[in-house]
Structure 1
């Protein structure tokens, strides 16, 4: 059993307070009009403490979205559901990681801007990507264990293909806006194409 130290619990609690305070302010005032000073005041901590956890307010947005996606990974662990085809299982996984952000489209746009502008991936985001890769790899292994499946490509290549498609689909989703009809259709089509490569 893993024992979490008091210091680690405090760090998690403080991080959670910052993210919750920032999210509430972003919802009320918009992303552009919220300052780090306002986030610190709302979280009842010093501005320096915010910077101990996040280099910029955009990194708080990244943390919020990563938290959403970590929850989605637990749902991906239950795929494929009974009766699902390979394409349907991959589509369900991809869409869980997109549709879970329906209330946070402006955050996704800010996240994509931050990610493409940053020199390096933040440690938190890198850790999440490791978890995503593990979850998607496990899904591919479950799918490949079915009768009639083949390993034409290494699983890590399949995972990279999934992630690349997912990134493009999320960008399409963010640019399109509600009701996200094109993004939904494209997700099904792209995951069906990826599935075909597993069944040849």
Structure 2
């Protein structure tokens, strides 16, 4: 019985998040209403509030779902990196980029980023920074793996290199999110150019 209740709870949670993701994307974060989200998710408003306190909680949960799925995919790359440093870095970061608009639109990302700037000490902002840190740590682990394999020069701190790479990919992603007309293909092309320069400096 406990297992059934947990599955039902997980199903309701997923339905709520999918409804919120759809409505935030269609109507905009500010315009979407909690009662409409509950209706689309086929739950009562009271049930929705049992799971999430407000729309900010919903948006954070969607961002978390997005990043957690990306991290799981990234672990496969870190465990078995492609043959060269540039290929490994490209596959990992493209995994981040290619998944970035599955649950969120550019406008939703902008809303999330704005909240972290406007309320830096809020729980939303702290969790957002934790997710960013987890992604940065994954990039650092990939570089450490490539060093161990002999594809990246020894004597350079893997953590420093990983943080530099993450900060750059994050800056490119932010520019992509801020420019509604920039296609994903352009983001990928800019990434390729940056990684070519970066890996030329660090590869053996």
1:23-64 CA-partner distances (Å, limit 9, x unpaired)? 2323443333212233244441435x6556545424423322
User: TM-score, normalised to structure 2's length?
Assistant: 0.74
Matches within 5 A, 1:81-160: 81-83=81-83, 85-103=84-102, 104-120=105-121, 122=124, 124-147=127-150, 149-160=152-163
Q: 5+ unaligned residues in a row in structure 2: which ranges?
A: none
Tell whether the 8 Å contact from 2:71 to 2:135 is kept in structure 1 after alignment: yes
Cross-structure match for 1:60: 58
CA shift for structure 1 position 187: 1.1
CA shift for structure 1 position 73: 2.0
Count residues in correspondence: 195
In structure 2, distance between residues paired with 1:131 and 1:9: 27
CA shift for structure 1 position 9: 6.6
CA shift for structure 1 position 126: 4.7
User: TM-score, normalised to structure 1's length?
Assistant: 0.75
Task: Please identify, of 37-46 and 167-176, the stretch whose mean Cα deviation from structure 2 is larger.
Answer: 37-46
> For residues 144 and 7 of structure 1, do their structure 2 counterparts lie closer, same or farther at Cα, with a shift above 3 Å needed?
farther
In structure 2, distance between residues paired with 1:90 and 1:15: 34
CA shift for structure 1 position 8: 7.3
CA shift for structure 1 position 22: 0.9
Task: Please identify, of 180-189 and 130-139, the stretch whose mean Cα deviation from structure 2 is larger.
Answer: 130-139
Q: 5+ unaligned residues in a row in structure 1: which ranges?
A: none
In structure 2, distance between residues paired with 1:143 and 1:66: 28
> For residues 17 and 197 of structure 1, do their structure 2 counterparts lie closer, same or farther at Cα, with a shift above 3 Å needed?
same
Tell whether the 8 Å contact from 2:59 to 2:112 is kept in structure 1 after alignment: yes
